[in-house]
Every structure is written in C-alpha cells, then in structure tokens.
C-alpha cells in the first residue's frame, strides 16, 4: 500500500488524503483516495459522496488512526476491518474445501460464512457448490494431513481476530479498555487479552482466567482496586478467618473474601458501591457530625457451611418462610456485614443474594456511616417511635432495580414484592400503631409471632409485613408528586436514629396524620 499523502486545497474548503483504509458503519472497507470536505461534513470515494457520519475510522496500514469519532468507534472500526479480512479467508477456505471434495468441512465453513453477512451473489454461488458436493457423496481427494491443516486454519480464525485487533490498536491507549472487552468476549481464554488484564491483578493471586474480564470490565473501571495501603484489617481477618484472603475496595466500600471467581463478587461489589453512593447523596449535609474513618466492609464467604461455622447464623433450621432468602447479616458490634455466595447459584439464589446485600449494606451504612449523627448519639438515644420507616428504607432500597451498565438505580419500579403484599393488606398494621412502634416493640411482637407461626405456617411474618408496609410508605414518600416529600422522609429517618421523639410526629414531619398518610399509601400501591 502507498503511504499517507496530504494536500491542502487553496480555498480551504476541503482536505484530501491518500488514506490506506476507510471503514464504514455498514462494514464496508475502502482502500484508496479520499476527499474529506469539512464544510459539508462529507467524504468522497471514487466520485461517490458519503456523509462523514457514515464513517467509523480512517487509518494507515500500520494501525495508527487518522480520524474517528471516539474510542468506541475506533474499536468498532477495528472489528469491522478484521471481519472483512476474516470473510475473505473464510471464502478462500470454503473454496479450498470444495476443491478437495470435503463436503463435511465445506458445509461447516459455509455455515460460518453465512453468519458473516457476505453479499447475496457470493453466498448463492457457494451454497449451490456445497449442496452439489453433498449430493455426489464422493470421498475427499486430499490426504488426511492436508484436511486437518484446513480444519485447524478454520478453527484458528477466532484467535486471528483477537491477534489482529491487538495489532490494530496497540498504540491506541483510549480504546484499550473497549478493545480488551472485545477480545475476551470473542475468546475468554485468549492469551494476549489475559496477559493485558493480568498486569492489573496482584502477582500473588492465582485467579482463574474467567475472573479477569469481570474484574477489569465490571470493577476496575468503576474505581475498584486491590487493597494495598490499609492492610491492618486484612491481616486481622486472615488471622481469625483464613490466610488466603484478599481485599478489594472502592471509595467508601471494601470486600474481604477468599473467592477467586470474581464473577461471584462483581455483582455484589457494584450494588454495594451504588447503594453507598446513593445514600451519601440522600443524607448529605453541609455540617456533618461525623466522617467515616473506615470503608463499609463486607466479609464474603464461599458457601453456607463456612458462613455458619464462622458466624453461627443459620436460618435454614427455623423460620424458613421468613429467612429462606437470608444470605447474610450486619454485625453491629464488629461493624461488618457477613454473607455467603453459592458456587452454582440459580437465578433465584442470585436475586436473594443481591437483595440481602443491598438490605444489609443500607442498614450498616445508616448505623455507622451516616453523617447526620454520631455513634454516641445513637447509643445514648432511647428507642423512638417511627421505626417502621427505618425498617422500610432497607427493604425499599433492596427492592429497587439496579442498572449496572448505566450505573443507575430505579426507585420508582412497581414490580417489587412489598408493594403487592401491602396492596393486599396482608397482616397490615393499623397506621397509628405502625408510626408509634419502636425497634424494641417490633422485636417483642416478632418473638411472640414466631410461636404462632409454627402452628399457622403462613408465609408472612409480622416483622416481614412491618418492613413491607414501611417500604411501601417510603416508596410513596420518595416518588409521589415528583418526590416533593423525599427530603422530609430522609429527615424523619435521621431523627428516628437520633431518638429525637419531638420531631417524629407524622403530621408535622411528613405533612399528614397516620390514617390520612396510610390511605394515600394504599391508593399509591394499588396503581398499576
């Protein structure tokens, strides 16, 4: 190919370049002269005018790019260029298989070619030849070794794609992350892609290859790193738990675990991070009473057995209808949340794990990290009324929809189970009673209710119904009328933690008496 040449038009209306390669969004690859008119945002190829918006990438044959809209477009351009080269190789291999009268290999290659989106004329010609060969049923005319070489070449095309992508973008730093994602999604075990990720993982940890992509894509790009500075907490955990632990952390959050499969860690880590970030926004104050010294910490166990042996929490033996989804618990004394992740979870297991992660992380943050009150205020305050909205907040957060791709939390979703239970008025508390109850009242009623449930065997415990009623109330106050009561809700919850009984009158704090507020909540949850 000829090298790059440039020419500036006297009138400065257009620029001309002898570019090596132009890649379009349709997958078309053009090699040759290009006239780029900056005034009309168009490019001309052999007297064919195209809008610049149709162009993905201009580059030289050494892989350096001349123009692109951004890193994502460059990676897509690299892929389309390699796909074009791969299509040519596939067609050539298919024709070789036809010449060798190997019908089985020709059919396999033709099927692969069909997925590549070749032009209709070429596809029709290949299909006729393959079908004709299959009807004749003649034995291959080439030797076995040569046929094996052709099969190996075909199987190696996927690896060739990754190799060429690396070569095309080796000097394109902004596109590296997207390129790496493309590499390992096409071939999770590609050695070049894995080597690139391995540079970001501590050398003393032997992670399985399938863990490196979730780490790099889902965690590292969102601010997670392996703990290097504050090793005191990690060493203490290694001493009383097990010596092969590691810790990852992002601003304000930390996970300590022995799990090497980061697929099982990534979903928990992201939801934990997003939950804490949202709580920090909702409870922000200009004059914070405290600042968290340590990140909010989760100890993630590899299975239920290790979790039970370490913590003593075993919800499988009793209260199954209520606690069957419980994967963990916040330890108030040690200020750490402990949970476990099953090795081969079902979709329901994963949903339960994410639910309890958000529930207990919200609970832990409100106790130890909320800036609106100090630990001394919490310990000194008497159990106050209005605990229903505190318990409801945990369930309200856990029932929200987390979009990890867009990094958003949807609190307005109406698919949460607690809304359906409240709408049915199943074991609903009288609203005056609901707003008068403290945490001590709930514990006392729940203990009595446990004995009754052994005989009744209903699915809803009082504590569960209480939390659902509180979550539905939070849903209404948070979302109704454009969220105008949202700040009042957060203030009410903060005052409840502080034991500020004088500020917990619903009529003054939330703008309505308990009965009136309850009717509004029930009307709200009844909406489709």
Cβ atoms of 301 and 340 within 8 Å: the answer is yes
The pLDDT of residue 420 is 92
Cα separation, 345 vs 322, in Å, equals: 20
- Within 13 Å and on the Cβ side, how many CA atoms surround 491? 14
- When mean pLDDT is compared across 166-180, 391-405, 506-520, the lowest value belongs to 166-180
CA-closest candidate to residue 216, choices 251, 183, 258: 183
Cα separation, 489 vs 506, in Å, equals: 10
Cα separation, 239 vs 444, in Å, equals: 37
Average pLDDT value for the chain: 79
* 123-133 average pLDDT score: 89
Q: What is the DSSP letter of 219?
A: I
Cβ atoms of 384 and 504 within 8 Å: the answer is yes
Res. 144: pLDDT tops 50: no
- Between 456 and 30, the more confident residue is 30
Cα separation, 164 vs 162, in Å, equals: 5
* 471-491 average pLDDT score: 95
The contacts of residue 453 (CB under 8 Å, 6+ apart) are: 319, 321, 461
The pLDDT of residue 168 is 57
pLDDT confidence band for 463 (50 / 70 / 90) = confident
The pLDDT of residue 322 is 45
Res. 425: pLDDT tops 60: yes
* Cα pseudo-dihedral 277, 283, 289, 293, rounded to 10: -10
- When mean pLDDT is compared across 1-10, 71-80, 387-396, 456-465, the lowest value belongs to 1-10
Res. 12: pLDDT tops 70: no
- Between 216 and 48, the more confident residue is 48
| SS3 of 2-20 | CCCCEEECCCCCCEEECCC
* 238-258 average pLDDT score: 90
- Between 281 and 137, the more confident residue is 281
Question: Would you state the structure tokens that stand for residue 454, as one six-digit string?
Answer: 């052994």
Question: Would you state the structure tokens that stand for residue 504, as one six-digit string?
Answer: 């917990």
Helix (H) / strand (E) containing 435: helix 431-436
The pLDDT of residue 52 is 75
The pLDDT of residue 293 is 72
Cβ atoms of 107 and 130 within 8 Å: the answer is yes
The pLDDT > 70 percentage for the chain reads 74
The pLDDT of residue 15 is 43
pLDDT confidence band for 324 (50 / 70 / 90) = very low
The pLDDT of residue 305 is 85
Cβ atoms of 337 and 299 within 8 Å: the answer is yes
The pLDDT of residue 177 is 62
pLDDT digits (tens, 9 = 90+) for 333-352: 888 999 988 888 888 888 88
Helix (H) / strand (E) containing 23: strand 21-24
* 265-284 average pLDDT score: 93
* Main-chain dihedrals φ then ψ at residue 472, nearest 5 degrees: -65, -40
* 88-116 average pLDDT score: 80
The pLDDT > 90 percentage for the chain reads 27
Question: Would you state the structure tokens that stand for residue 189, as one six-digit string?
Answer: 């075990």
pLDDT digits (tens, 9 = 90+) for 22-65: 878 777 777 777 777 777 777 777 777 888 778 777 776 655 66
The pLDDT of residue 119 is 74
Cα separation, 314 vs 328, in Å, equals: 9
Q: What is the DSSP letter of 172?
A: -
- When mean pLDDT is compared across 188-192, 427-431, 451-455, 498-502, the lowest value belongs to 451-455
* 155-160 average pLDDT score: 55
pLDDT digits (tens, 9 = 90+) for 279-300: 999 999 888 877 767 899 999 9
The pLDDT of residue 11 is 24
Helix ranges (H only) for 170-323 are 176-186, 191-198, 209-213, 232-240, 263-282, 304-311, 320-323
The Cβ of residue 240 has, within 10 Å, a number of other Cβ atoms equal to 7
* 447-476 average pLDDT score: 77
pLDDT confidence band for 8 (50 / 70 / 90) = very low
- When mean pLDDT is compared across 12-21, 399-408, 504-513, the lowest value belongs to 12-21
The contacts of residue 164 (CB under 8 Å, 6+ apart) are: 78, 82, 85
Cβ atoms of 267 and 354 within 8 Å: the answer is yes
Distances (CA, A) of 488 to 430, 474, 484, 495, 503: 22, 11, 8, 10, 11
């Amino acid at each position: 190919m000829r090298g790059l040449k440039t020419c500036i038009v006297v009138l400065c209306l257009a620029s001309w370049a002898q570019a090596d390669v132009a890649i379009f969004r349709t997958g078309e690859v053009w090699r040759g002269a290009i006239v780029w008119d900056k005034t009309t945002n168009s490019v001309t190829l052999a007297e064919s005018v195209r809008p610049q918006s149709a162009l993905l990438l201009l580059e030289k044959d050494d892989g350096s790019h001349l123009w692109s809209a951004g890193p994502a477009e460059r990676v897509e351009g690299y892929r389309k260029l390699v796909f074009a080269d791969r299509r040519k190789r596939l067609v050539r291999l298919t024709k070789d298989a036809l010449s060798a009268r190997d019908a089985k290999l020709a059919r396999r290659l033709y099927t692969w070619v069909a997925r590549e989106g070749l032009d209709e004329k070429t596809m029709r010609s290949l299909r006729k030849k393959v079908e004709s060969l299959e009807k004749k049923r003649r034995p291959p005319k080439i030797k076995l070794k040569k046929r094996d070489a052709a099969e190996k070449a075909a199987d190696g095309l996927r690896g060739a794609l990754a190799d060429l992508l690396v070569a095309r973008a080796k000097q394109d730093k902004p596109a590296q992350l997207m390129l790496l994602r493309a590499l390992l999604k096409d071939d999770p075990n590609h050695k070049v892609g894995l080597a690139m990720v391995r540079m970001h993982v501590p050398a003393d940890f032997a992670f399985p290859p399938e863990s490196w992509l979730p780490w790099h894509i889902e965690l590292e790009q969102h601010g997670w790193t392996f703990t290097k500075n504050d090793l005191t907490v990690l060493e203490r955990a290694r001493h009383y738990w097990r010596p092969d632990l590691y810790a990852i952390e992002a601003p304000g959050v930390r996970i300590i675990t022995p799990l090497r499969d980061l697929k099982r860690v990534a979903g928990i880590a992201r939801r934990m991070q997003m939950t804490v970030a949202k709580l920090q926004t909702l409870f922000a104050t200009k004059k914070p009473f405290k600042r968290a010294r340590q990140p909010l910490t989760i100890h993630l166990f590899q299975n239920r057995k290790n979790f039970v042996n370490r913590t003593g929490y075993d919800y499988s033996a009793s209260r199954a209808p209520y606690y069957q989804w419980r994967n963990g618990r916040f330890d108030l004394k040690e200020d750490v949340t402990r949970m476990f992740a099953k090795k081969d979870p079902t979709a329901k297991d994963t949903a339960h794990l994410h639910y309890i992660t958000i529930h207990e992380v919200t609970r832990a943050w409100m106790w130890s990290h909320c800036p609106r009150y100090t630990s001394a205020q919490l310990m000194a305050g008497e159990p106050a009324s209005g605990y229903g909205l505190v318990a409801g907040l945990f369930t309200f957060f856990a029932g929200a929809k987390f979009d990890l791709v867009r990094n958003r939390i949807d609190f307005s979703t109406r698919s949460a189970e607690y809304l359906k239970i409240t709408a049915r008025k199943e074991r609903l508390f009288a609203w005056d009673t609901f707003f008068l109850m403290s945490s001590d009242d709930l514990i006392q009623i729940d203990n009595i209710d446990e004995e009754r449930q052994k005989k009744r065997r209903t699915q809803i415990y009082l504590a569960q119904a209480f939390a659902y009623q509180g979550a539905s109330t939070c849903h209404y106050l948070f979302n109704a009328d454009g969220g105008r009561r949202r700040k009042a809700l957060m203030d009410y919850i903060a005052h409840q933690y502080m034991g500020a009984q004088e500020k917990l009158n619903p009529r003054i704090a939330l703008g309505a008496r308990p009965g009136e507020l309850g009717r509004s909540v029930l009307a709200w949850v009844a909406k489709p």
